[in-house]
Amino acid sequence: TQAPVNVTVTGAAGQIGYALLFRIASGQLLGPDTPVKLRLLEIPQAVKAAEGTALELEDGAFPQLAGIDIFDDAKQAFAGANVALLVGARPRTKGMERADLLEANGGIFKPQGEAINAGAADDIRVLVVGNPANTNALIAQSHAPDVPAERFTAMTRLDHNRAVAQLAKKLDAPVGEVRKLTIWGNHSASQYPDIFHAEVAGRNAAEAVNDEKWLAEEFIPRVAKRGAEIIEARGASSAASAANAAIDHVHDWVLGTAEGDWTSMAIPSDGSYGVPEGLISSFPVVCKGGKYEIVQGLEISEFSRGRIDASVGELAEEREAVKKLGLI
């Protein structure tokens, strides 16, 4: 039998953590044959709540769950980690300026990056979920110089899944028939969900939709602002769908994307598609053999170019802001 994979989850007592941990324990992150050991990181005040979740995980009697350890110290939590899901973050509160938000998150993601650098396993893969996810990932990555930069990723899979579902609905097709959709840029309202290369039941999606007004005025803003729509309806932010997307992101990264399809991941740019090198920006990627690769050679229309540039521009501004604050 295989040795257990160490999966570190931060913000374990939060609402995404609650949905995420059971999915991991049930074998959905790395496949049913891979045992996992959970390493939960919380702030001291929330350790007790994390312990409560651990009791419930025990009560799940999951055959794949090889153990649970709980920490309030990042160095310990990331020791030996093979997969790290960085969910815990400092949310924006009323009256908080962007610089304050970035600074508060720098206080979380800098020490976590250092801890990953110090003690994670050689094959460590990091997914940042906590917002502002792309820039938090950049902060963590910049404090882990011994870890290959490409191991630091941020989550745009929820946006990707939302876009797939909205497109399927529009064309009255099953979601399983949608392929090759792309989220470009930042996980924020500036993101660009691109259907020009997407296929629905083998047809080009943009041609099948054939409605640029719907695309510009309904689809793109609906996907980009879906988070706010959920908060409005549920009285709380997306949790189970975010956990689901985190599972999808890591699952596909490790086990591969389906033949003839790709997915969206925010990853350190290598300069492809004019995205400045080093920015952690969302791209279309194919995963194989535990590695991802940016899908090359897509033709970018003027409609798409302006939207990609706007979102990437926002990422560049965020990078400048955290540089100024001395966080990277």
158 lies in the binding site for ligand NAI (CB under 6 A)? yes
Return the beta strands (E) in the chain as ranges.
5-10, 36-41, 65-71, 83-86, 125-128, 152-154, 178-179, 182-184, 192-194, 199-200, 203-204, 263-268, 280-288, 291-294
87 lies in the binding site for ligand NAI (CB under 6 A)? yes
Choosing from 133, 286, 295, 312, the residue that interacts with ligand NAI (CB under 6 A) is: 133
107 is in an annotated binding site: no
- Binding to ligand NAI (CB under 6 A) within 42-71 occurs at 42-43, 46
Binding span for ligand NAI by CB under 6 A among 9-17, 137-145, 217-225, 271-279? 9-17
Binding span for ligand NAI by CB under 6 A among 22-30, 37-45, 171-179, 289-297? 37-45
Q: Closer to ligand NAI at the Cβ: 43 or 189? A: 43
210: buried, middle or exposed (CB in 10 Å: 19+, 13-18, 0-12)? exposed
Contacts of 202 (CB under 8 A, 6+ apart): none
- Residue 305: CB atoms within 10 A of its CB come to 13
Contacts of 175 (CB under 8 A, 6+ apart): 164, 165, 168
Taking the complex as a whole, the smallest distance from the CB of residue 2 to ligand NAI amounts, in Å, to: 28
φ/ψ of 172, rounded to 5, equals: 55, 40
* Residue 143 is among the residues annotated as catalytic for this protein: no
Distance CA 227, CA 198 (A): 23
Supply the DSSP string of 287-323, one letter for each residue.
EETTEEEEPP-----HHHHHHHHHHHHHHHHHHHHHH
Which of the following is catalytic: 143, 160, 187, 251?
A: 187
Q: Closer to ligand NAI at the Cβ: 84 or 287? A: 84
88 lies in the binding site for ligand NAI (CB under 6 A)? yes
Choosing from 129, 178, 206, 328, the residue that interacts with ligand NAI (CB under 6 A) is: 129
The footprint of ligand NAI on this chain (CB under 6 A) covers a number of residues equal to 27
Structure tokens at 146: 């011994």
Binding span for ligand NAI by CB under 6 A among 25-33, 85-93, 218-226, 301-309? 85-93
Annotated binding residues, written as ranges, equal 11-17, 92, 98, 105, 112, 129-131, 162
Q: Which residues of this protein are in contact with ligand NAI, per CB under 6 A?
A: 10-11, 13-17, 41-43, 46, 87-89, 91, 108, 129-131, 133, 155, 158, 187, 237-239, 242
- Residues labelled as active-site residues: 187
